Structure 1
Amino acid sequence: MGVIDPELTRIPARKLTANALRQLAPSINETEDTPDLILHHGKDPISEYNNPDLIPGMYPTLYPFGIGGFDDKSRPTSLSFENQANYYLNLADKSFRYHYFFIFVILNMIQRRRAHLHTSFTVKSARFQLVAPSLTSLSSETLFDVAEVIENERTTASLTPDQRRALDLLRYINTIATKIPGSYAAKISARTEIRSYFSYFGLPHLFFTFNPSAVHSPIFHVMYGDKTIDLESRYPKVPLPAERVRQLAHDPVAAADFYDFAVKALFEHLLGWDYSKRASTERGGIFGRIRAFYAATE
């Protein structure tokens, strides 16, 4: 078949399927009862909680011995999911931070765990017990009507009692999403905290955007592991632009470490903030002594 039809365009699909089944089935001369390849499957999804074999099974190249998973109850000292993830990303062996998918999968699991944890707190609160009967009595038509009012920015003065209970549902949804990093509700929570600073400390005297560029900084490339850069030189030589971009994309953890280092250096050495005491130093910085500040990362 491969000689006269190398692209397999003239072979019916049923013949290809039958041939594949024959490859999986054991030979008639063998006594084995199982085929060469078995794909295990089931209708129940695998739990990501209290399952130390999950991550090592997903990434065998990162866990060649099949140990070191998360939520391992056999450890003498308990270790949280986030602390263990941070530990893996800061190992001298940078296989975890260089992996294409590990960081994104772990971040997604952390987001879901935070959502589940905060949902549990909200369900057990006294406020939810008061709102729950209203939520269960809402109809789909009521929700659609309220959605249309919000989308078209209409007045809420003429809402029916059921539609007002739907607005309570929206406030409840914002509450359970507040603790999820990167969510829109988390941004709303940050704005609320900033306004509370206004009430206690007064309006801020200074607003600025700090954007350290990792790709052009010799400090980042040293954090990445580039040993050709001499930071003691007045004008350190950095790699070519294409290589700088490649290093930045190759190690996002080093980029995050550089950003954290740059922000702390700014507040400690220019603005005179003591992170250990969580207060301004006696000498202060270029703008005097800081009473309070609020920083948000995009």
Structure 2
Amino acid sequence: MFPWLFPFGLGGFGNKHIRTKIHTPTHTRHLLLYADRLIQTDEYFAFVAFNQAQIRKSAGGGYLLTERHNFDNIAEQIMDIDRDALDRLISRGVDVRYVTPQDDAECACFELLSHLDYVAGHVDGSLASRKYMRNELKSLIMSEGMPLFFVMFAPVDFKHPLCIYLCGQPLNLDVADPMLPSSKARMRMIAENPVACARFHDFMVRTFISEVLCSRSDKPGLFGHTGAYYGTVE
């Protein structure tokens, strides 16, 4: 895989010649942070690596499901599920946002879906993982109360010197207003290096949490003392 990135089959995933065993996510992060930025700017590596991570987590979730004590009951539920009840739930779900079961067959469908969510819940970006995040947010609200502020921000990456620097453009970040390339050149850099954009966004979010919210400090932040926060990335 990726012979243009790993000549002679060395350096890629699952390489037996690597002396130290390294976890695949850690290996992926290490590859994406290479100084030459060859892997960062590759058109396929990030998508394939993320897809492989999803498949790996889905397989891991399926394995954990088979190890559960009620797996035999789940298998029987799959074989005995009422397809007409599923069709009714699907048809009602098209018209309304929230569907509730109306008979025992539909309740069995909901119970089966909750078991299958155990597999998809391990996969980043899946509907089940989003549902788990909503449940976490609801639990946080029940514990800490309703949130006082809803903050949504989108840092402009192609205008920020730090993001351009992470893309590989040499800049003097010690000055207040460094000379930047043209707008067209900056937008091309951003489009060619999504890893730099992700690192820039992560830095801005962490800086906002630590410096504006002062979440792990005794001093109050811009909005006062921060009791709790919850953030997601679209």
Structure-1-length-normalised TM-score: 0.71
Correspondence 1:194-273 to 2 at 5 A:
194-227=137-170, 229-273=171-215
Give structure 1 stretches of 5+ with no counterpart.
1-57, 274-279
The answer to whether structure 1 residue 178 and structure 2 residue 114 are counterparts is no
Shift of 1:268: 1.9
Do the aligned residues in 1 keep the contact of 2:10 with 2:17 (CA within 8 Å)? no
Shift of 1:84: 0.6
Instruction: Judge which range, 62-71 or 191-200, deviates more.
Output: 62-71
Higher relative contact order (CA 8 A, sep 6+): 2
Q: What amino acid is aligned across from residue 252 of structure 1 in structure 2?
A: P
Match of 1:189 among 109, 132, 135: 132
Q: What amino acid is aligned across from residue 234 of structure 1 in structure 2?
A: A
Relative to structure 1, the CA distance from residue 254 to residue 140 in structure 2 (aligned partners, 3 Å threshold; closer, same or farther) is: same
Equivalents in 2 of 1:155, 1:251: separation in Å?
45
Correspondence 1:153-172 to 2 at 5 A:
153=96, 156-157=101-102, 159=103, 161-172=104-115
Correspondence 1:26-105 to 2 at 5 A:
58-72=1-15, 75-105=18-48
Equivalents in 1 of 2:123, 2:21: separation in Å?
23
The aligned residue for residue 228 of structure 2 is 292
Structure-2-length-normalised TM-score: 0.89
* Sequence identity (%): 26
Equivalents in 1 of 2:54, 2:212: separation in Å?
34
Give structure 2 stretches of 5+ with no counterpart.
none
- Superposed CA deviations along residues 146-184 of structure 1, whole A, max 9, x for unmatched, are 433433457632x3x434322322223333211211122
Q: What amino acid is aligned across from residue 192 of structure 2 in structure 1?
A: H
Shift of 1:238: 2.0
Equivalents in 2 of 1:192, 1:68: separation in Å?
40
Relative to structure 1, the CA distance from residue 156 to residue 291 in structure 2 (aligned partners, 3 Å threshold; closer, same or farther) is: closer
Equivalents in 2 of 1:264, 1:142: separation in Å?
46
Do the aligned residues in 2 keep the contact of 1:218 with 1:231 (CA within 8 Å)? yes
SS in 1 for 2:9: coil
State the Cα RMSD in Å. Answer: 2.1
SS in 1 for 2:7: coil
Q: If you compute each CA radius of gyration, which structure gives the higher value, 1 or 2?
A: 1
SS in 1 for 2:46: helix
Shift of 1:217: 0.7
Structure 1 or 2: more helix by fraction: 2
